Amino acid sequence: MTDKEFAGSTTPRIAADQLHAFVRAIWEQAGSAPREAELVADHLVAANLTGHDSHGVGMIPRYVASLADGQLQLNLHADVVKDAGAVLTVEGRKGFGQVVAFEAMEQGIARAQRIGICAVGLRDAHHIGRIGHWAEQCARAGLVSFHFVNVAGDPLVAPFGGADRRIGTNPFCAAYPRPGKPPLVLDFATSTVAYGKTRVAYNQGKQVPPGALIDHEGVPTADPKVMHEEPFGSLTPFGGHKGFGLAAMCEIFSGALAGGFTTHADTLGTTNAIINCMLSVIIDPAAFDAPDAQAEADAFIAWVKASPLAAGVDHIYEPGEPERVTRAEREAQGIPVDAATWTQICTAALAVGMHADEVARWSALLK
Ligand SMILES: NC(=O)c1ccc[n+]([C@@H]2O[C@H](COP(=O)([O-])OP(=O)(O)OC[C@H]3O[C@@H](n4cnc5c(N)ncnc54)[C@H](O)[C@@H]3O)[C@@H](O)[C@H]2O)c1
């Protein structure tokens, strides 16, 4: 659902700082150290602020279920198991992705600032959420980055030409920092729509765009229930054979290259855990001999934005701009959270031991 649609709806909203405090309280109740709870809240609320509700606070019930399964591990940290100078291999050990990815990026940023480039292979992290968050961390340090990610052992997407789920929604992300301007941030799932967006549509009783799903017999459908009720169907890869090819390279670069694992018959997950592996290549642009790089990038963006608008379009966006627009709107108006998602989050809060009165106090903030 876009924010324009939310604007006309009765979906209740909550201020970002209040939602952040609720998320922190849930994870501290579950046993996270305060810094871990803060990093998780930073990430989830930022995903909602940027309009990616699929990767926001609606993930909390799944994380709580993973914790109950003995999968998600609290209070672990990124562990550099091999340091080869410009290449770091980092073990996540199913620690909170919001912590181990943050720490892996910190290590990669420091190394790229020292020697110009660093490839970080993070393996076996619990869900690392919205990948743009990690690219923005690099961009804040003035660094370019590309990120290839797999969702290991959790196939939801059919291969191009296939009729059942074989691949994760494997996101690709790239960011380009610009001094004095926001970074360009390209960040997308290689499925036609992100899985979490089918959950949001399912919770809201809405259809997904045509071409995004097939049912269990491989027949196209717009009904998100095929992803949430048996017999399960599949997401389609975006862009036909090209999206499938990019998803495959995300799988290999992240899951195989750095010692993690790829999706196949021997690795299929049976729990609520979501395991991500990520290859991040982080580059200091100052290491190139390119005094005109920023001017060239700016000239290109201005050039494409000057294109005459197609019928029905009111704006040409640069990568990352839609998220900035949504962030500004939600910082001012609050974050919309639909009733079904809120109920699921409150149930998760109770499951980790939060008292019902406290849950009710937080719930009163959603208006
Ligand atoms: N951790 C995981 O396992 C995992 C798996 C899949 C996806 N994800 C995350 O899910 C999120 C959502 O992915 P998605 O595929 O739904 O994203 P999406 O389809 O909304 O595409 C987002 C990208 O397209 C750009 N964009 C959007 N509208 C545009 C427009 N009109 N003009 C120009 N550019 C535009 C955005 O700036 C952004 O870079 C991402 O943040 C991704 O990292 C995570």
Own/partner contacts of 76-81, CB < 8 Å, gap of 24 or more, are: 76/100, 77/103, 78/102, 78/103, 78/104, 78/107, 78/122, 80/107
* Ligand 1: residue whose CA is nearest its atom 21: 188
Contact 171, 250 (CB under 8 A): yes
Between the alpha carbon of residue 233 and those of residues 34, 217, 230, 272, 341, the distances in Å are: 40, 7, 8, 18, 22
Report which ligand 1 atom has the smallest distance to the Cα of 173. Answer: 43
Report which ligand 1 atom has the smallest distance to the Cα of 322. Answer: 37
Q: How far is the CA of 55 from the centre of ligand 1 (A)?
A: 10
pLDDT band at 9 (very low <50, low <70, confident <90, very high): low
C-alpha 312/C-alpha 218 separation (Å) is 33
CATH of domain 76-191+239-288: 3.30.1370.60
- Evaluate: CB of 147 within 6 angstroms of ligand 1: no
Report which ligand 1 atom has the smallest distance to the Cα of 274. Answer: 3
* Ligand 1: residue whose CA is nearest its atom 13: 188
* Ligand 1: residue whose CA is nearest its atom 3: 151
State which H helix or E strand residue 299 sits in.
Answer: helix 293-305
pLDDT tens per residue, range 97-130: 999 999 999 999 999 999 999 999 999 999 999 9
Q: Hey, which of 188, 236, 318 would you mutate to test ligand 1's pocket, going by the most ligand atoms within 8 Å of its Cβ?
A: 188
**The dihedral formed by the CA atoms of 25, 30, 33 and 36, expressed in degrees to the nearest 10:** -70
Report which ligand 1 atom has the smallest distance to the Cα of 187. Answer: 39
* Ligand 1: residue whose CA is nearest its atom 19: 188
- Evaluate: CB of 208 within 6 angstroms of ligand 1: no
Q: How far is the CA of 326 from the centre of ligand 1 (A)?
A: 13
- Evaluate: CB of 319 within 6 angstroms of ligand 1: yes
pLDDT tens per residue, range 236-295: 999 999 999 999 999 999 999 999 999 999 999 989 999 999 999 999 999 999 999 999
C-alpha 84/C-alpha 103 separation (Å) is 18
* Ligand 1: residue whose CA is nearest its atom 1: 129
CATH of domain 1-68+289-304+311-367: 1.10.1530.10
DSSP label at residue 179: T
Structure-token pair, residue 28: 């501290």
Residues in the chain: 367
Which residue ranges does the chain devote to CATH 3.30.1370.60?
A: 76-191+239-288
State which H helix or E strand residue 35 sits in.
Answer: helix 34-49
171: helix, coil or strand?
coil
Whether residue 194 has pLDDT greater than 90? no
- Evaluate: CB of 185 within 6 angstroms of ligand 1: yes
Q: Hey, which of 130, 150, 187 would you mutate to test ligand 1's pocket, going by the most ligand atoms within 8 Å of its Cβ?
A: 187
pLDDT tens per residue, range 302-331: 999 999 999 999 999 999 999 999 999 999
Looking at every residue in the chain, the average pLDDT score rounds to: 96
Question: What is the assigned CATH class of domain 195-236?
Answer: alpha beta
C-alpha 199/C-alpha 216 separation (Å) is 17
Backbone angles phi, psi at 336, to 5 degrees: -75, 135
* Ligand 1: residue whose CA is nearest its atom 12: 188
pLDDT band at 205 (very low <50, low <70, confident <90, very high): very high
Please name the residues in contact with 186: beta carbons below 8 A apart, sequence gap of 6 or more.
172, 173, 174, 175, 319, 320
Which residue ranges does the chain devote to CATH 3.30.60.50?
A: 195-236
C-alpha 198/C-alpha 119 separation (Å) is 33
Which residue ranges does the chain devote to CATH 1.10.1530.10?
A: 1-68+289-304+311-367
Q: How far is the CA of 195 from the centre of ligand 1 (A)?
A: 11
